[in-house]
Amino acid sequence: MSETTRRRGGGRAGRRAARAASTESAPYLVRRTPPVDIVDDEGLEQIERNAETILSEVGIAFQDFPEALELWRAAGADIDGELVKCPPGLCRQIVQDNAPAAYTQHARNPARNVMVGGDATVFAPNYGSPFVMDLDRGRRYATLEDFCNVVKLAYALPQLHHSGGTVCEPVDVPVNKRHLDMVYAHLRYSDKPFMGSVTAAERAADSVEMARIAFGGDLADRTVMTSLINVSSPMRWDAPMLGAATTYARANQACIMSPFILAGAMSPVTVAGLAAQALAEALSGMAYLQLVRPGAPVVFGTFASSMSMATGAPTFGTPEAGQAIHVMASLARRVGVPFRSGGQFTSSKLPDAQAAYESAHTLLPTMQAGVNFVLHAAGWQEGGLALGYEKLILDADQLGAMEIWARGVDVSENGQAMEAFRTNAHGDHFLGNPHTLANFETAFWRSDISDAASYEQWSEEGSLSAGQRANARWKQLLADYEPPPIDDAVDAELRDYVARRKAEMPDEIG
C-alpha cells in the first residue's frame, strides 16, 4: 500500500473515529413525529371488545400462585381452579386507575436516566440468547466473558440507551448463580439503566438487593430496573414469572408484562386475532401488579412474529409482524401505559443481506408506531438463538439513523434555508454557500460502518465487507473500554454479596 493511500485511509478512519468519540450520548430519543395508526378507531374498538371476551369467557390462568388468585377474587374476578375470568372492563379499569402513563428509570449515573413512556424511545440490546457468534470464532455457547463483553460494548455504544438484561446466557456459570454475575456486570461495567433477573422470585430479590447496594443503600422507591416478564402464551402466567413480577412490583420496580407470540402456534394466524389475545394477556398481567401495589410501573409488552406454515420455523421481518407492532402500539396508547415491542430481528445466521433487510423491516415499524421501550434493538441473530458481535455493531449504527428519523423535519429558520436561496448566484451549486458551510458537519447522518468511498479506494483499503468493518469496530471498542467509576466500598459490598449468595447454595446445572 502506498504512503498516499495510507495517508488517505488513515485520514478517513481518523475522521470516523473523531466523530464516534465526539458523539453525545442522549439518554433516550424524544420523538417529534406522531405515531402512525394503521387501524381506525372502529377496528381498534372491535379488537378491544374481543380481548374483553377472552378475559371474561375464556380466562387467563395464574398457575401455581395462590396469592394471585386471592387478589383477583377480592377484586371481583371469577376464579375457577387456576383460571381467572374478569368481568368486562375490570382489568382495563384497574390499570387505568393506577398504572403510571410514564416513569423514570434511574441509572447509576443520573445523566443516563431514561423516561419510559410518552414520546420517549429507549433502545436496549439483545436479550436471552444461549449462543454468541463472531466472524473469527463462529457460533459457540455464550460465556460470562461474552456477557461482560456485550455489557461493555452496550456501554460504549452511544446509540444504546440501556444496558439490557440477559444480553446473552452465560452457560459456563451454574444456572442458579449466573444471575448474580449478570447483575454485577451491569452494575460494574456500565452506568446505564439495566434489567433484573426474572427466572425466580428469589433471583428478583437478589437483583433488588444488589441494586439497593449500588444505589447507595436505599432505593427510596426509585425505579432502577425495568424487567421482562413473559406470558406463557396462550393465556397462562407461570409461577416463576409471577413470583419475580410480584417481587419487583412490591419494590416499585418496573415490569414489562409481555406476551411472547409466534402467530399460528401461540395465537391464531391473523393479526387481529393475535392482537386481541396479546391485549387480554397484557391487561391481566398489568392489572395483577396493580393489585399487588397500586401505582407500580408497568409496560405493555409484546413480542409478536410469524412462523412458516410449511416448516414451523419462526420467521422475522415479515409484513404481518410489522403490522402487529403498529396495532399493539395503538392499543397500548388507548390503555394509557408505556409500550414495549420491536427491535432488529432476523433469522439469518450471519450479519448479511438477509439480516439487514429483515432487521430493517422490524426497526422501521418500531419507530413509526412509537414504541417506548425497544428490547432486542441490537445484536439479535439466528432467530434470537445467538447474539452476533458484528450484528450488534451494525444494528447500533442503524439506531443512530433512527435518532435523526425521530427528530422529524427541521422547519426552523435554519432548516428552511431561505438565506441560502437569497445569497446563491442563480444556477450555481450550493457547495460553497455560507449556509452549506455552516451546516455541512451536521447536515446529514453519517454511518460509522458503511463505506461510500470509490471502488478504487475501497479496494486499496482492503475490500472489506460491512461485517468485517464491524468486526474491527467491536474489537477496538473493547480495547479502548474504560469502566465507569464506582465507589470502592460499594463495589466491595456487591462482590461480597455475590460471593456470599453463591456460597449459600449448591450449583444447579440446567
DSSP 166-193: -SS--TTS-TTTHHHHHHHHHHHH--S-
The region that residue 343 occupies, defined by phi over 0 for left and psi between -120 and 50 for alpha, beta otherwise, is left
Question: Running DSSP on this structure, what letter comes out for residue 58?
Answer: I
Q: How far is CA 334 from CA 177, 279, 313, in A?
A: 40, 11, 33
Question: pLDDT in tens for each of the 510 residues of the chain?
Answer: 333 333 333 444 544 444 444 345 789 999 999 999 999 999 999 999 999 999 999 999 999 999 999 999 999 999 999 999 999 999 999 999 999 999 999 999 999 999 999 999 999 999 999 999 999 999 999 999 999 999 999 999 999 999 999 999 999 999 999 999 999 999 999 999 999 999 999 999 999 999 999 999 999 999 999 999 999 999 999 999 999 999 999 999 999 999 999 888 889 999 999 999 999 999 999 999 999 999 999 999 999 888 888 888 888 999 999 999 999 999 999 999 999 999 999 999 999 999 999 999 999 999 999 999 999 999 999 999 999 999 999 999 999 999 999 999 999 999 999 999 999 999 999 999 999 999 999 999 999 999 999 999 999 999 999 999 999 999 999 999 999 999 999 999 999 999 999 999 999 876
Cα–Cα distance measured from residue 203 to residue 198, given in angstroms and rounded to the nearest whole number:
7
Instruction: Output the CA torsion 195→259→279→405 (10° steps).
Output: 60
* Residue 244 · residue 227 · CB < 8 Å: yes
Q: How far apart are CA 498 and CA 377, in angstroms?
A: 29
Q: Crossing angle for the helix pair 319-335 and 271-292, nearest 10 degrees?
A: 40
Q: Which distant-in-sequence residues (6+ apart) come within 8 Å of 397 by Cβ?
A: 159, 447, 448, 449, 450
- Cα–Cα distance for residue pair 247/242, rounded to 1 Å: 8
Exposure on the CB side of residue 291, measured as CA atoms within 13 A: 22
Classify 240 as helix, strand or coil.
Answer: helix
Look at residue 139 and give its three-state secondary structure.
strand
205 vs 213: CA distance, rounded Å: 13
